[in-house]
A = this chain, B = another copy of it.
Amino acid sequence: MTATESDEATARMSKSEATRARIIAAAGKVLAETGYQHTRLSAIAAEAGMQTGSLYYYFGSKEELVEEALDGGVRVVHQRVRQSVDDLPGRATAGERLFTAVRAFVKARLEIGSVSPAHIRSYRDLPKDMRERLRPELEAFSSLWDELVVAAVESGEIRHDVDPFVLHLFVVHTSEQLIKWPDSVRTSIAHTTDVMVRLMLNGLEGPALKKG
Protein backbone atom coordinates (compact mmCIF):
# COMPACT_ATOMS: atom_id res chain seq x y z
CA MET A 1 0.00 0.00 0.00
CA THR A 2 1.53 3.34 -1.01
CA ALA A 3 1.24 6.45 1.11
CA THR A 4 -1.46 7.78 -1.21
CA GLU A 5 -3.52 4.61 -1.17
CA SER A 6 -3.16 4.58 2.59
CA ASP A 7 -4.43 8.15 2.91
CA GLU A 8 -7.39 7.46 0.67
CA ALA A 9 -8.20 4.35 2.64
CA THR A 10 -7.91 6.27 5.89
CA ALA A 11 -10.37 8.89 4.69
CA ARG A 12 -13.05 6.25 4.29
CA MET A 13 -12.52 4.83 7.78
CA SER A 14 -14.30 5.57 11.00
CA LYS A 15 -12.07 7.20 13.60
CA SER A 16 -11.73 3.92 15.44
CA GLU A 17 -10.69 2.08 12.29
CA ALA A 18 -8.18 4.80 11.50
CA THR A 19 -6.59 4.58 14.94
CA ARG A 20 -6.42 0.83 14.65
CA ALA A 21 -4.71 1.16 11.27
CA ARG A 22 -2.27 3.70 12.70
CA ILE A 23 -1.30 1.24 15.43
CA ILE A 24 -0.80 -1.56 12.92
CA ALA A 25 1.42 0.70 10.81
CA ALA A 26 3.43 1.70 13.87
CA ALA A 27 3.84 -1.97 14.80
CA GLY A 28 5.03 -2.81 11.28
CA LYS A 29 7.66 -0.14 11.44
CA VAL A 30 8.96 -1.11 14.86
CA LEU A 31 8.93 -4.81 13.98
CA ALA A 32 10.94 -4.28 10.82
CA GLU A 33 13.56 -2.41 12.77
CA THR A 34 13.83 -4.54 15.84
CA GLY A 35 12.30 -7.99 15.43
CA TYR A 36 9.57 -9.53 17.52
CA GLN A 37 11.35 -10.15 20.79
CA HIS A 38 12.92 -6.75 20.94
CA THR A 39 9.68 -5.01 20.01
CA ARG A 40 8.30 -3.24 23.08
CA LEU A 41 4.67 -2.22 23.25
CA SER A 42 5.92 1.09 24.60
CA ALA A 43 7.79 1.66 21.30
CA ILE A 44 4.70 0.88 19.23
CA ALA A 45 2.57 3.13 21.43
CA ALA A 46 5.07 5.98 21.14
CA GLU A 47 5.23 5.59 17.37
CA ALA A 48 1.43 5.71 17.25
CA GLY A 49 1.32 8.67 19.61
CA MET A 50 -0.35 7.13 22.63
CA GLN A 51 0.31 5.43 25.96
CA THR A 52 1.09 1.73 26.23
CA GLY A 53 -2.07 0.83 28.11
CA SER A 54 -4.27 2.42 25.44
CA LEU A 55 -3.29 -0.24 22.92
CA TYR A 56 -5.37 -2.76 24.84
CA TYR A 57 -8.54 -0.95 23.86
CA TYR A 58 -7.86 -2.18 20.31
CA PHE A 59 -5.96 -5.44 20.79
CA GLY A 60 -6.16 -8.23 23.32
CA SER A 61 -2.42 -8.86 23.52
CA LYS A 62 0.96 -8.10 22.01
CA GLU A 63 0.74 -11.35 20.07
CA GLU A 64 -2.58 -10.43 18.50
CA LEU A 65 -1.33 -7.01 17.42
CA VAL A 66 1.95 -8.30 16.05
CA GLU A 67 0.36 -11.14 14.16
CA GLU A 68 -2.05 -8.79 12.40
CA ALA A 69 0.79 -6.43 11.42
CA LEU A 70 2.99 -9.26 10.18
CA ASP A 71 0.28 -11.03 8.25
CA GLY A 72 -0.79 -7.80 6.57
CA GLY A 73 2.79 -6.92 5.55
CA VAL A 74 3.37 -10.32 4.05
CA ARG A 75 0.15 -10.31 2.07
CA VAL A 76 0.62 -6.84 0.63
CA VAL A 77 4.13 -7.53 -0.69
CA HIS A 78 3.21 -10.96 -2.01
CA GLN A 79 0.14 -9.55 -3.72
CA ARG A 80 2.13 -6.76 -5.36
CA VAL A 81 4.79 -9.09 -6.70
CA ARG A 82 2.23 -11.53 -8.07
CA GLN A 83 0.20 -8.75 -9.63
CA SER A 84 3.24 -7.33 -11.43
CA VAL A 85 3.78 -10.70 -13.09
CA ASP A 86 0.12 -11.23 -13.91
CA ASP A 87 -0.03 -7.82 -15.58
CA LEU A 88 2.55 -8.84 -18.18
CA PRO A 89 1.34 -9.73 -21.67
CA GLY A 90 1.12 -13.44 -22.42
CA ARG A 91 4.13 -13.29 -24.74
CA ALA A 92 6.51 -12.23 -21.94
CA THR A 93 9.45 -14.61 -21.52
CA ALA A 94 10.27 -16.44 -18.29
CA GLY A 95 13.19 -14.10 -17.73
CA GLU A 96 11.01 -11.03 -18.16
CA ARG A 97 8.55 -12.47 -15.68
CA LEU A 98 11.27 -13.14 -13.09
CA PHE A 99 12.91 -9.73 -13.38
CA THR A 100 9.56 -7.97 -13.30
CA ALA A 101 8.89 -9.78 -10.03
CA VAL A 102 12.31 -8.79 -8.69
CA ARG A 103 11.72 -5.15 -9.58
CA ALA A 104 8.30 -5.20 -7.93
CA PHE A 105 9.76 -6.82 -4.83
CA VAL A 106 12.64 -4.36 -4.53
CA LYS A 107 10.24 -1.48 -5.12
CA ALA A 108 7.83 -2.76 -2.49
CA ARG A 109 10.65 -3.16 0.03
CA LEU A 110 11.64 0.45 -0.56
CA GLU A 111 8.14 1.87 -0.45
CA ILE A 112 6.83 -0.08 2.49
CA GLY A 113 9.31 0.65 5.25
CA SER A 114 7.92 -2.14 7.36
CA VAL A 115 7.70 -5.90 7.39
CA SER A 116 8.01 -8.19 4.43
CA PRO A 117 7.58 -11.87 3.66
CA ALA A 118 11.29 -12.56 3.75
CA HIS A 119 11.82 -10.58 6.87
CA ILE A 120 13.42 -13.49 8.63
CA ARG A 121 14.69 -11.38 11.46
CA SER A 122 11.18 -11.05 12.76
CA TYR A 123 10.00 -14.44 11.65
CA ARG A 124 12.56 -16.54 13.47
CA ASP A 125 11.73 -14.91 16.78
CA LEU A 126 8.00 -15.54 16.60
CA PRO A 127 6.13 -17.76 19.04
CA LYS A 128 5.75 -21.19 17.50
CA ASP A 129 1.98 -21.19 17.13
CA MET A 130 1.99 -17.80 15.41
CA ARG A 131 4.67 -19.01 13.01
CA GLU A 132 2.46 -21.96 12.13
CA ARG A 133 -0.47 -19.71 11.28
CA LEU A 134 1.67 -17.46 9.08
CA ARG A 135 3.42 -20.32 7.33
CA PRO A 136 0.94 -21.02 4.49
CA GLU A 137 1.15 -17.44 3.25
CA LEU A 138 4.97 -17.47 3.40
CA GLU A 139 5.14 -20.78 1.58
CA ALA A 140 2.84 -19.53 -1.15
CA PHE A 141 5.19 -16.60 -1.72
CA SER A 142 8.18 -18.89 -1.72
CA SER A 143 6.52 -21.14 -4.31
CA LEU A 144 6.01 -18.18 -6.60
CA TRP A 145 9.76 -17.51 -6.59
CA ASP A 146 10.55 -21.15 -7.21
CA GLU A 147 8.28 -21.25 -10.25
CA LEU A 148 9.70 -18.03 -11.69
CA VAL A 149 13.31 -19.13 -11.19
CA VAL A 150 12.88 -22.63 -12.58
CA ALA A 151 11.13 -21.29 -15.70
CA ALA A 152 13.90 -18.74 -16.30
CA VAL A 153 16.57 -21.41 -15.91
CA GLU A 154 14.77 -23.56 -18.46
CA SER A 155 14.50 -20.71 -20.94
CA GLY A 156 18.24 -20.10 -20.57
CA GLU A 157 17.77 -16.53 -19.40
CA ILE A 158 19.41 -17.18 -16.04
CA ARG A 159 22.35 -19.43 -15.27
CA HIS A 160 21.83 -23.17 -15.05
CA ASP A 161 25.09 -23.96 -13.22
CA VAL A 162 23.64 -23.11 -9.82
CA ASP A 163 20.93 -24.89 -7.81
CA PRO A 164 17.59 -23.11 -8.52
CA PHE A 165 16.79 -22.97 -4.82
CA VAL A 166 20.06 -21.12 -4.23
CA LEU A 167 19.11 -18.67 -6.98
CA HIS A 168 15.76 -18.19 -5.25
CA LEU A 169 17.52 -17.45 -1.93
CA PHE A 170 19.96 -15.13 -3.65
CA VAL A 171 17.16 -13.11 -5.23
CA VAL A 172 15.14 -12.78 -2.06
CA HIS A 173 17.99 -12.10 0.36
CA THR A 174 19.83 -9.74 -1.93
CA SER A 175 16.65 -7.71 -2.36
CA GLU A 176 16.22 -7.69 1.39
CA GLN A 177 19.60 -6.10 2.04
CA LEU A 178 18.22 -2.81 0.78
CA ILE A 179 16.77 -2.10 4.21
CA LYS A 180 20.34 -1.99 5.55
CA TRP A 181 21.52 0.57 3.00
CA PRO A 182 21.82 4.00 4.60
CA ASP A 183 19.56 6.78 3.35
CA SER A 184 22.55 8.51 1.75
CA VAL A 185 22.74 5.92 -1.05
CA ARG A 186 19.00 5.38 -1.42
CA THR A 187 18.21 8.32 -3.63
CA SER A 188 15.05 7.87 -5.67
CA ILE A 189 13.18 4.59 -5.52
CA ALA A 190 13.44 4.18 -9.28
CA HIS A 191 17.21 4.67 -9.31
CA THR A 192 17.87 2.44 -6.31
CA THR A 193 15.72 -0.31 -7.82
CA ASP A 194 17.62 0.04 -11.04
CA VAL A 195 21.04 -0.25 -9.43
CA MET A 196 20.06 -3.26 -7.37
CA VAL A 197 18.55 -5.13 -10.31
CA ARG A 198 21.62 -4.42 -12.44
CA LEU A 199 23.91 -5.80 -9.72
CA MET A 200 21.81 -8.92 -9.25
CA LEU A 201 21.52 -9.57 -12.96
CA ASN A 202 25.01 -8.71 -14.21
CA GLY A 203 27.16 -8.79 -11.07
CA LEU A 204 30.17 -6.72 -10.20
CA GLU A 205 32.19 -7.53 -13.30
CA GLY A 206 33.59 -4.54 -15.14
CA PRO A 207 34.82 -3.83 -18.70
CA ALA A 208 38.37 -5.09 -18.19
CA LEU A 209 37.12 -8.62 -17.43
CA LYS A 210 34.16 -8.85 -19.82
CA LYS A 211 36.23 -9.61 -22.90
CA GLY A 212 37.21 -13.00 -21.38
Contacts and interface: CB of A to CB of B under 8 A. Distances in A.
Contact of A185 (B169, B198, B199, B205): B169
A180 B173 contact: yes
A181 interface: yes
Secondary structure at the A interface, as helix, strand, loop or mixed, is helix
Interface string A120-163: 11000100000000000000000000000000110111111111
A208 interface: yes
A195 interface: yes
B199 A203 contact: yes
A162 B35 contact: no
Interface string A13-30: 000000000000000000
When all copies of this chain in the complex are counted, the total is 2
A170 interface: yes
Interface in A181-208: 181, 185, 195, 198-208
A38 interface: yes
Contact of A205 (B35, B158, B208): B158
Interface of A: 34-35, 37-38, 95, 120-121, 125, 152-153, 155-163, 165-167, 169-171, 173-174, 176-177, 180-181, 185, 195, 198-209
